[in-house]
Amino acid sequence: MRHYIPVISVDEPRGGASSKEGGRAPEFLRIARAVMADIERGRLRPGDPLPGTRELALSLGVHRNTVLAGFRELSAQGWIVTEPARGTFVAKSLPTPKWRAPARAPRAAITVGFDLTAPPIEPLAQAPKRGTLSLSGGVPDVRLAPHAELARAIRRALRSPDVLGYQAAEGHPALRRELSRMLSASRGVAAPAENIVVTRGSQMALDLVSRTLLRPGDVVVVESLGYRPAWDAFRLAGARLVALPVDAHGMRVDGLAKLLATTTVRAVYVTPHHQYPTTVALSAGRRLELLALARTHRFAIVEDDYDHEFHYEGRPVLPLASADDAGVVLYVGTLSKVLAPGLRIGYLVAPRRFCEAITSIRKTADRQGDHPLEAAIAELLEDGALERHVRRARRVYEARRSVFGAELTKKLASVLSFSLPAGGTALWAQVADDVDVSAWVLRAEARGLALQDARRFAFDNKTRSALRLGFAQLDERELCTAVSRMVDALPTRAR
């Protein structure tokens, strides 16, 4: 409590009149009463040290004699004791308060006193209550993260004084080099380190792309079922969004060709590897057509490859960026799905000039990333630890996908229709028309199960008979329990 300052009521200002002149208590007495109140409310505890009288007088802006008088008053009443050569302490003989109250009462909510110009953003979903099982899609099992390897790598990184100072805003050089090597080897994206910017998660990359690329009124084409936080980033930059339908082969690129005949498009946002949320892959023909349209009409393709690492059948489809010879693709990736969402590591691959522009904008909000963490992850990439973890997690998630699919088929075949996805961490299930999906989600929540219905991903906000069901974050036993809760929560079917 060396920096303790008593809170003196504002209706008795410091330096005020005496009780005889203005009806207020003398200043030394008001200081004593403030200390007493702090002891009673638990801000000060029995045995806590008090600041020296000189220090406290300086903090309060009063003469030291005033503080000395206040301390004499407190000592006389048994609130404090002074020990020679040690200092002044709250008396240990006082009873310990059962709770610590704040130094002053919390303020009432502050209303906005100025005009807001930003469009309203739908709040993120609340974290599930304790005991709730979540089938939210796209979430890894953080229990599988390589905790020990990461902790050792962070400790080693912290031994280097360089990572604790100001560093490059585009990311730690070692991580950029390792990302360049990884992207070339596993995804066919031949990007040197200078074409990579490390961000705090893929959402920061999307935000920075929006702020760098877009002007108010620009048109951005998105998928009609898609990733709402990306849409929010585009809207905050002033963009006008146009949604194209999604079918079993991904975004309907033929609709884009028709739109371009009448509208100037600035960017197309797409999730071609595992379409978010339906998990389908953009077909080869549509990929080629999209790249050709971008070259001809000079718009940017924002490719969000959010879970490339998890593919269970055949080889994963290579990103659009791997076939980009015209510099039209802005490739966004993340390591959050590989490690854990709390480790905010994303990245952007883009032409050099765009990287320079995005870095200058990034500096206005975030001087640099988490360089100790970035250095540690670079080490995990370099020594192969991250790749080994991905292989382990892929095997675990593939087994969970099989168990989950079998359990859904066994218990809910009359209600759900789905195909096991070739990759990713979630499946897209169509729900029978006679089932109220919204009611099912609410009933499941009451039974300790979090579900995601299709409306959460719909550009038009309309309800659809579908669920996105994640299987990665729960083990086999938990998945079976979750399906049982789905069955228990199923509403009475319409006739």
Pairwise CA distance, residues 37 & 8, whole Å:
10
**Residue 238: inside a domain:** yes
Shared-domain flag, residues 221 and 289: yes
pLDDT score at 24? 67
pLDDT band per the 50, 70, 90 thresholds, residue 254: very high
For residue 114, give the 3-state DSSP assignment: coil
291 occurs within a structural domain: yes
Residue 437 near residue 431, CB atoms below 8 Å:
yes
CA 321 to chain centre: 25
Query: What pLDDT shows up at residue 242?
Result: 97
Query: pLDDT for 157-210, tens place per residue?
Result: 888 878 777 788 899 999 999 999 999 988 899 899 999 999 999 999 999 999
Q: Assign residue 2 a region (left: φ > 0; alpha: ψ between -120 and 50; beta: otherwise).
A: alpha
Asked if pLDDT for residue 23 goes beyond 70, the answer is no
Clarify whether residues 212 and 173 are in a common domain.
Answer: yes
Torsion region of 158: left, alpha or beta (phi above 0 gives left; psi -120 to 50 gives alpha): alpha
Write down the pLDDT at residue 108: 58
Question: Which segments of 183-239 are extended strands (E)?
Answer: 196-199, 219-223
Q: E strands, 308-454, where?
A: 329-334, 346-349, 416-417, 426-431, 449-450, 452-453
What is the per-residue DSSP string for 71-83?
HHHHHHTTSEEEE
Q: Backbone phi, then psi, for 252, in 5-degree steps? A: -80, 90
Q: Residue 59 maps to which CATH number? A: 1.10.10.10
- Considering the domain architecture, whether residues 173 and 271 belong to the same structural domain is answered as yes
Q: What pLDDT is stored for residue 20 in this prediction? A: 43
Strands 346-349 and 196-199: antiparallel
Domain boundary among 369, 384, 399: 384
Q: The pTM is what? A: 0.77
Which of 384, 399, 430 is the last residue before a domain boundary? 384
Average pLDDT over residues 98-112: 56
At 46, which amino acid appears?
P
Q: How far, in Å, CA of 414 to CA of 171, rounded?
A: 51
Examine the domain organization and report whether 480 and 372 are in the same domain. no
pLDDT given at position 124: 58
Structural domain including 482 reads 133-138+388-489
pLDDT tens by residue, 421-438 = 988 899 999 999 999 999
Instruction: With cut-offs at 50, 70 and 90, classify the pLDDT of residue 489.
Output: very high
Nearest to 143 by CA among 479, 405, 472: 472
pLDDT at 313: 82
Q: Which of 181, 221, 173 is nearest to 198 (CA)?
A: 173
Q: Are residues 380 and 392 in the same domain?
A: no
125 inside domain: no
Nearest C-alpha neighbor of 482 from the set 456, 450, 440:
450
Please report which confidence band the pLDDT of residue 13 belongs to, taking 50, 70 and 90 as the band edges.
Answer: very low
* CATH number of the structural domain spanning residue 168: 3.40.640.10
Q: How many domains does the chain have?
A: 3
User: What's the average model confidence in pLDDT over 21-48?
Assistant: 83
257: buried, middle or exposed (CB in 10 Å: 19+, 13-18, 0-12)?
Answer: middle
According to the model, what pLDDT value does residue 126 have?
A: 61
Question: Hunting for tokens 């912290």 — which residue is that?
Answer: 158
- Within this chain, do residues 431 and 294 fall inside the same structural domain, yes or no? no
Q: Is residue 267 part of a domain?
A: yes
Of residues 114 and 58, more confidence is placed in 58
Q: In the predicted model, is pLDDT for residue 116 greater than 80?
A: no
Half-sphere exposure (CA, 13 Å, Cβ side) for 56? Answer: 26
d(CA 406, CA 386): 30
326 located within any domain: yes
- Domain assignment present for residue 105? The answer is no
pLDDT in tens, 399-415: 999 999 999 999 999 99
Length, in residues, of the chain: 495
**Residue 224 contacts residue 278 (beta carbons within 8 Å):** no
Contacts for 349 with CB less than 8 Å, ≥ 6 apart: 183, 189, 191, 195, 196, 321, 330, 331, 333
Do 227 and 323 lie in one domain? The reply is yes
Under the banding of pLDDT at 50, 70 and 90, the label for residue 337 is confident
217 assigned to some structural domain: yes
Please tell me the distance from the alpha carbon of residue 324 to that of residue 138, in angstroms, as a whole number.
Answer: 27
Residue 340 pLDDT class (50, 70, 90 cuts): confident
Q: Is residue 3 part of a domain?
A: no
State residue 1's pLDDT score. Answer: 53
**pLDDT digits 0-9 by tens, 273-317:** 999 999 999 999 999 999 999 999 999 999 999 888 888 887 778
17, pLDDT greater than 90: no
pLDDT at position 105 is 52
Answer for the pair 318, 186: CB distance below 8 angstroms, yes or no: no
Residue 121 has pLDDT above 80, yes or no: no
Pairing of strands 466-470, 219-223: unpaired
Mean pLDDT lowest for which of 203-207, 329-333, 369-373?
A: 369-373
User: Do 366 and 251 share a structural domain?
Assistant: yes
Average pLDDT, the chain: 88
Residue 123 exposure: Cα atoms within 13 Å on the Cβ side: 3
The one-character DSSP state at 309 is T
Convert the pLDDT of each residue in 231-240 to its tens digit: 999 999 999 9
| 251 and 399 fall within a common domain | no
Query: Which residue is associated with the tokens 């920096």?
Result: 3
Identify the CATH number of the domain in which residue 403 sits. 3.90.1150.10
Dihedral over Cα of 382, 333, 322, 387: its sign: positive
Kindly state the greatest CA–CA separation across the chain: 92
Higher pLDDT pick, 9 / 418: 418
